Amino acid sequence: MTAHSRPTRIAWQSIALAVLLFGCTAAAAQSDALPSWNDGLSKNAIVEFVSRVTREGGPDFVPVDQRIATFDNDGTLWVEQPMYVQLAFMTARVKELASQHPEWKTTQPFQGVLEGDMKAVAAAGEKGLVQLLAATHSGMTTVQFEKIASNFLATARHPKFHRPYTECVYQPMLELLAFLRANGFKTYIVSGGGVEFMRPMTEKVYGVPPEQVIGSAVKTKYEFQNGQPVLMRLPEIDTIDDKEGKPENISKIIGRRPLAAFGNSDGDQQMLEWTAAGPGLRLMLLVHHDDAEREYAYDRASAIGKLDKALDEAHSKGWVVVSMKNDWKAMFPPED
């Protein structure tokens, strides 16, 4: 250490202290909007970002029409363990339909679904997935599918939390969605889940209208039934909205780069990278599931919601990593 270095270090400490104080002050002004977030680096980063991009005349100001925020759904807005909600839906559908298909008892991937043997299901690969999609998600009109999905979401309950899946949503993230909208952001869901599976609930649960939901999709076919036009859902994948598919679909459907992006797994890594690569101030945030007591704890080794490479990139690039355990006061909304 040279004689010169001590004052320099003190200067840096002063700046750090000033930033911290300033950050806290800015956060305090709007902190009521995020009551379920504990004070700390994550909350500060969010409030400071929003404060800077909305400060008219400031160096980081962004016009309202460019304030696009994209949120992953599974594991970011609602619970994805012990299985994706849509996989629970698919399982329920297979069980409902099994009496019409006695052969499923001895045919994979159906046998695996009926017996809860997810390894057998996984072993059936993409071909198996398409067979499951065909049997449970296709062969009906879009209107019929909406009713089936709505009915499941209205009646099914999470095995650990014993409440509807639509109430297994993270209260701090609901507050964050509302906080961003109150600051002129247009909030989008960009999920690997099926777009038509999510739409029946996103407006009521998240305040996100159907036209701001992007997801995986099957192809549909316009045809006539009893003289009326319908859209039949085909057993054919149109898009998988995961990993590289996320920025590709954001570009195709929104046509603007997000200003802020929120995820929780390696499936969100490309969306956050694409967001970060835009000019000016951006916010990239990962929800880290580290609360085994109130929810689940999983990351690098998880089969569902694996968070590994994206976590490394978050650490190396200074993206916000939210500790559910430390940053969140509450997990779910109060029971109805």
* Residues found near a copy of itself in the complex (CB under 8 A): 65, 68, 142, 186, 195-196, 199, 203, 209-211, 213, 217, 219-222, 228-229, 231, 238, 244, 247-248, 251-256, 270, 273-274, 277
Sequence-ordered list of residues with C-beta below 8 angstroms from that of 150, at least 6 positions apart, any chain: 200, 201
Q: Which residue has the tokens 């979401």?
A: 153
Residue 107 beta carbon to a copy of itself: minimum distance, rounded to whole angstroms: 31
Fill in the amino acid letter for 277: A
58: helix, strand or coil: coil
Whichever of 213 and 314 has its CB closer to a copy of itself, that residue is: 213
Residue 235 beta carbon to a copy of itself: minimum distance, rounded to whole angstroms: 15
Residue 218 beta carbon to a copy of itself: minimum distance, rounded to whole angstroms: 9
Q: How far, in Å, CA of 220 to CA of 81, rounded? A: 30
Q: Which of 119, 140, 98 is nearest to 235 (CA)?
A: 140
Q: Which of 278, 284, 243, 242 is nearest to 260 (CA)?
A: 284
Whichever of 7 and 229 has its CB closer to a copy of itself, that residue is: 229
Residue 147 beta carbon to a copy of itself: minimum distance, rounded to whole angstroms: 15
Whichever of 83 and 271 has its CB closer to a copy of itself, that residue is: 271
214: its two tokens: 């992007």
The DSSP string of 66-109 is G-EEEE--BTTTB---SS-HHHHHHHHHHHHHGGG-GGGGGSTT
Whichever of 52 and 219 has its CB closer to a copy of itself, that residue is: 219
Whichever of 160 and 221 has its CB closer to a copy of itself, that residue is: 221
Whichever of 104 and 274 has its CB closer to a copy of itself, that residue is: 274
* Angle CA 131–85–325, to nearest 5: 145
Residue 196 beta carbon to a copy of itself: minimum distance, rounded to whole angstroms: 7
192: helix, strand or coil: strand
Residue 199 beta carbon to a copy of itself: minimum distance, rounded to whole angstroms: 5
Residue 248 beta carbon to a copy of itself: minimum distance, rounded to whole angstroms: 5
Contact 136, 94 (CB under 8 A): yes
Whichever of 251 and 326 has its CB closer to a copy of itself, that residue is: 251
- The number of CA neighbours under 13 Å toward the Cβ of 280 is 16
208: its two tokens: 């996100």
